[in-house]
A = this chain, B = another copy of it.
Amino acid sequence: MSYLSGLFSTVFERRFARAVSTDAEGRDITDLANDLLGAQGEVSGSTLARLILDQYAKADAERKKAFFEFLLRDLEIDPVEVVETLKDYKASPSKRSYLAYAKASEPKRQELLRRLNQVRGGTQRLVSMRRDLLGMMREDAKLEPLDVDFQHLFASWFNRGFLVLRRINWSSPAEILEKIIAYEAVHAIDSWDDLRLRLQPTDRRCFGFFHPAMPDEPLIFVEVALTQGIPNSVQNLLANGRAPIEAEEADTAVFYSISNCQAGLAGISFGNSLIKQVAADLARDLGALDTFVTLSPIPGLTKWLGKNQSPTVNNASVEAQAAHYLIAAKREDNLPLDPVARFHLGNGAAVHAVHANADISDKGMRQSKGAMVNYLYDLAHVTANHEHFVTEKVVAASPAVHTLSASISSKS
């Protein structure tokens, strides 16, 4: 791809662009990166950025890793400079002295990543770059500090204020819908016909967050069923051939699947915002809705039961086991063992009810003996629940669930 060819796409322009590109093509990616940081102004900036991203895209794993190591090593902070500019700034605070400190205290690689982002499509390519990095980090922990920089920038760029909530339905572009099929992580979508059953009936909704710089890529999406009463079986909820109800007749919105779409955005949290925004929008449009609830898997139950051989636990009903696991099984940091529980409780939801035979698929039987759980989003209590959970690690739960759990605890 020739120099400037993305930006200046006419024959006319390419003629001129060719002149300036010759010495840039074929150069080493780290060389180009140094140039990009040095380049004053944007003139050659966006072209260099494009060249770097193109070279990165074509690189094999080894060269990618070399690039990451270059970022870590060569574009690192200079501790001496940090300390000196800091001293200077504290001694005589001014725009000049603070600017010097700010520049020194942040590694140059952050500025490099920001400059790479000025290219059209750059954001998405940087998200892919981090996905590569996360993969390599599993084998080489030395790369981890670099991820701190990525995460810092992404948290700023993918700020809630920049995200756009869009409804996804049967009128959505096929290129979005095929990603919904691909990314659905909770209850797999087998085909376009299956997808249609999640989107088209009057009592189904789907919403996703999008970033304006990646308009064709959902970041996260949630699937919602509108029901009368709280459901206790995902197979019933999704049954082929069931009779849909009118949306206006529903009193309950069930968030039955939430899926993250971008591996490269791991750790950038959208789920909490998404659920609350969707709940608010649904409540505004459908006046009869008064209950917002999930129907969630309990991915760690079977595994925990396997480790926990106490007879009181083993002989209890699945519901009691599930209730007890969700309320009482904790990690070292005293937060719940179950990852889905941590997510919803962290959002301020409460464990509302547990159900046996709620997911009788292979996966459901395997991970939780068929049990599922409703987490309740009661807007009057989410803030308080959240505060208690975060500060005191208290798991909010309904009396019924507490009783179920206690039926085991009292004996054990």
Q: List chain B residues, Cβ under 8 A from A17.
A: 379
Tell whether, in the assembled complex, residue B159 and residue A117 are in contact, meaning their CB atoms are under 8 Å apart: yes
Indicate whether A141 reaches chain B with its CB closer than 8 angstroms. yes
> What is the CB-to-nearest-CB distance from A190 to chain B, in angstroms, rounded to a whole number?
12
Indicate whether A122 reaches chain B with its CB closer than 8 angstroms. yes
Q: A10-B283, A120-B161, A156-B114 are in contact. Are A44 and B145 (CB under 8 A)?
A: no
**Bound form: Cα–Cα A47–B387 in Å:** 14
> What is the CB-to-nearest-CB distance from A2 to chain B, in angstroms, rounded to a whole number?
13
Q: List chain B residues, Cβ under 8 A from A173.
A: 170-174
Partner of A145, one of B93, B171, B378: B93
Tell whether, in the assembled complex, residue A157 and residue B160 are in contact, meaning their CB atoms are under 8 Å apart: no
**Bound form: Cα–Cα A279–B87 in Å:** 47
Q: List chain B residues, Cβ under 8 A from A9.
A: 280, 284
Known: A12-B287, A41-B347, A95-B148. 18 other contacts (CB 8 A): A10-B287, A16-B378, A42-B276, A44-B383, A46-B273, A77-B86, A79-B86, A79-B90, A95-B147, A102-B152, A119-B161, A156-B156, A157-B157, A162-B162, A162-B212, A170-B174, A170-B175, A174-B174
> What is the CB-to-nearest-CB distance from A358 to chain B, in angstroms, rounded to a whole number?
27
**Bound form: Cα–Cα A379–B7 in Å:** 12
Tell whether, in the assembled complex, residue B93 and residue A82 are in contact, meaning their CB atoms are under 8 Å apart: no
Tell whether, in the assembled complex, residue B99 and residue A379 are in contact, meaning their CB atoms are under 8 Å apart: no
Partner of A94, one of B89, B144, B290: B144
Tell whether, in the assembled complex, residue A43 and residue B382 are in contact, meaning their CB atoms are under 8 Å apart: yes
Map CB proximity to B onto A193-212 as digits: 1 under 8 Å, 0 otherwise. Answer: 00010000000000000001
Q: List chain B residues, Cβ under 8 A from A117.
A: 159, 161-162
Q: List chain B residues, Cβ under 8 A from A287.
A: 10, 12
Indicate whether A186 reaches chain B with its CB closer than 8 angstroms. no
Q: List chain B residues, Cβ under 8 A from A119.
A: 160-161
Q: List chain B residues, Cβ under 8 A from A382.
A: 43
Q: List chain B residues, Cβ under 8 A from A46.
A: 160, 273
Tell whether, in the assembled complex, residue A114 and residue B159 are in contact, meaning their CB atoms are under 8 Å apart: yes
Tell whether, in the assembled complex, residue B380 and residue A19 are in contact, meaning their CB atoms are under 8 Å apart: yes
Q: Taking each of A41, A155, A283, which has the highest tally of chain B beta carbons within 10 Å of its own beta carbon?
A: A41
Q: Taking each of A145, A273, A346, which has the highest tally of chain B beta carbons within 10 Å of its own beta carbon?
A: A145
> What is the CB-to-nearest-CB distance from A272 to chain B, in angstroms, rounded to a whole number?
5
* Residues in A131-176 with C-beta less than 8 Å from chain B: 141-142, 144-145, 147-149, 152-153, 155-157, 159-162, 164, 170-175
Q: List chain B residues, Cβ under 8 A from A269.
A: 42
**Bound form: Cα–Cα A7–B121 in Å:** 31
Please give the residue numbers on chain A whose beta carbons come within 8 Å of chain B beta carbons, in ascending order.
4, 7-10, 12-13, 15-17, 19-20, 40-44, 46-47, 77, 79, 82-83, 86-87, 89-90, 93-95, 98-99, 102, 105-106, 114, 117-123, 141-142, 144-145, 147-149, 152-153, 155-157, 159-162, 164, 170-175, 177-178, 192, 196, 212-213, 216, 269, 272-273, 276-277, 280, 283-284, 287, 289-290, 346-348, 378-380, 382-384, 386-387, 390
Query: What is the chain B residue whose CB lies nearest that of A144?
Result: B95
Tell whether, in the assembled complex, residue A390 and residue B161 are in contact, meaning their CB atoms are under 8 Å apart: no
> What is the CB-to-nearest-CB distance from A55 to chain B, in angstroms, rounded to a whole number?
18
> What is the CB-to-nearest-CB distance from A334 to chain B, in angstroms, rounded to a whole number?
15
Query: What is the chain B residue whose CB lies nearest that of A42?
Result: B272
Tell whether, in the assembled complex, residue A43 and residue B159 are in contact, meaning their CB atoms are under 8 Å apart: no
Tell whether, in the assembled complex, residue A174 and residue B175 are in contact, meaning their CB atoms are under 8 Å apart: no
Tell whether, in the assembled complex, residue B13 and residue A280 are in contact, meaning their CB atoms are under 8 Å apart: yes
Q: List chain B residues, Cβ under 8 A from A157.
A: 156-157, 162
Q: A142-B93, A148-B98, A192-B192 are in contact. Are A380 and B212 (CB under 8 A)?
A: no
Q: List chain B residues, Cβ under 8 A from A153.
A: 156
> What is the CB-to-nearest-CB distance from A75 to chain B, in angstroms, rounded to a whole number?
14
Partner of A118, one of B161, B347, B386: B161
Tell whether, in the assembled complex, residue B42 and residue A102 are in contact, meaning their CB atoms are under 8 Å apart: no
